[in-house]
């Protein structure tokens, strides 16, 4: 079986922020707008994002996973430019996306993401409708997309899957556990977080499903840092990998933009997976930062 190459990027927070009307900036958006204009616009850069994507495309991955936060305040004016950017990353057959908390920032536009990006997050079965979780089979890989994106109060960035989604995921993981597939779970929020305001609130239920059924790999964003955590599966530990914002300059403890590239292959009865991290160096060039053998 040939090696399958899966690229992973997250949290592009697509700059620049479009002009906002005063009536759009009530409630939580007012806090987000002030944060963007005073701070975040300095280190989320479109030139950085374009450089990163260009390098990723030069690696010729077989598929790309994007784990959320394409927009910033979920303004109506943000979604079409984000769609145009995603089309530049690749077509819907070659790119899979799940939403982040900024993509469902407020209740008024929480469903816009699923509508605008529907063909990028539509499963192979029942493809006429968008629902979570979904499964997309690409070569030996089964991509399982869930949504942890829910509107939250100001200064909160928690996520939540909910009983319906967890119940459906239980069924999907049970079915995939008897198939010969490299299972990759895509979720925006990390499965463990030290920060109360940014955590996945029902992560313990998700972790119980993973311990029962297993997957080979979990990919997430949200924290804007390089992250590798290991969680219990039915017969071995499961790696969960996070990645910095795809548009970021380095600041404080947050690293500069990077993406992951996973080389996946079958070795007899076992899977092999190697992670390569590529990202921005001090001269704003994309270089190889690290490699790791995950499986």
Q: What tens digit of pLDDT does each residue of 216-248 get?
A: 999 999 999 999 999 999 999 999 999 999 999
Mean of the per-residue pLDDT values of the chain: 96
Q: What tens digit of pLDDT does each residue of 241-275 get?
A: 999 999 999 999 999 999 999 999 999 999 999 99
pLDDT at residue 116 greater than cutoff 90:
yes
Q: What tens digit of pLDDT does each residue of 65-114 get?
A: 999 999 999 999 999 999 999 999 999 999 999 999 999 999 999 999 99
Cβ pair 122, 90 in contact under 8 A: no
Cβ pair 150, 141 in contact under 8 A: no
CA 289 to chain centre: 20
* CB atoms inside a 10 Å sphere around CB 203: 20
Of 39, 52, 55, which Cα lies nearest the Cα of 10? 52
Any idea where the domains of the chain sit in the sequence? 4-293
Cα(249)–Cα(233) distance, rounded to whole angstroms? Answer: 35
Mean pLDDT of 46-63: 98
Q: Which fold is adopted by the domain 4-293?
A: Purple Acid Phosphatase; chain A, domain 2 (3.60.21)
Q: Look at residue 250 in the predicted model and tell me its pLDDT.
A: 97
pLDDT at residue 128 greater than cutoff 80:
no
Sign of the alpha-carbon dihedral angle for 294, 244, 82, 159: positive
Percent of the chain with pLDDT over 70: 99
Of 262, 255, 184, 173, which Cα lies nearest the Cα of 218? 184
The residues pairing with 55 across neighbouring beta strands, listed in sequence order, are: none
Question: Distances in Å between the alpha carbon of 140 and those of 128, 183, 261, 281?
Answer: 24, 9, 16, 33
CA geometry: angle 114, 275, 187, nearest 5 deg: 25
Q: Look at residue 196 in the predicted model and tell me its pLDDT.
A: 87
Cα(99)–Cα(43) distance, rounded to whole angstroms? Answer: 22
Coil, helix or strand at residue 227: strand
Cα(172)–Cα(186) distance, rounded to whole angstroms? Answer: 14
Exposed, middle or buried, 180 (CB in 10 Å: 0-12/13-18/19+)?
A: exposed
């Amino acid at each position: 079986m040939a090696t399958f190459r899966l690229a992973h990027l997250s949290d592009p927070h697509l700059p620049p922020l479009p002009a906002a009307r005063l009536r759009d900036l009530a409630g939580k958006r007012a806090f987000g707008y002030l944060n963007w204009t005073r701070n975040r616009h300095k280190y989320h850069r479109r030139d950085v994002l374009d450089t990163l994507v260009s390098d990723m495309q030069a690696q010729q991955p077989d598929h790309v996973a994007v784990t959320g936060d394409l927009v910033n305040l979920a303004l109506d004016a943000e979604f079409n430019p984000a769609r145009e950017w995603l089309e530049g990353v690749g077509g819907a057959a070659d790119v899979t996306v799940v939403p982040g908390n900024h993509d469902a920032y407020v209740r008024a536009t929480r469903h816009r993401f699923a509508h605008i990006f529907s063909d990028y997050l539509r499963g192979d079965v029942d493809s006429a409708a968008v629902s979570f979780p979904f499964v997309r089979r690409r070569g030996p890989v089964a991509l399982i997309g869930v949504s942890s994106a829910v509107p939250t109060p100001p200064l909160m960035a928690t996520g939540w899957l909910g009983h319906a989604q967890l119940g459906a995921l239980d069924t999907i993981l049970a079915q995939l556990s008897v198939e010969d597939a490299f299972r990759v779970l895509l979720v925006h929020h990390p499965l463990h977080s030290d920060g109360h305001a940014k955590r996945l609130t029902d992560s313990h239920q998700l972790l119980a499903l993973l311990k029962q059924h297993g997957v080979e790999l979990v990919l997430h964003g949200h924290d804007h840092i390089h992250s590798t955590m290991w969680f219990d599966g039915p017969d071995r530990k499961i790696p969960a990998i996070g990645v910095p914002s795809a548009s970021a300059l380095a600041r404080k403890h947050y690293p500069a933009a990077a993406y992951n590239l996973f080389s996946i292959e079958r070795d007899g009865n076992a899977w092999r997976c190697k992670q390569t991290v590529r990202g921005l160096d001090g001269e704003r060039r994309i270089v190889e930062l690290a490699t790791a053998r995950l499986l």
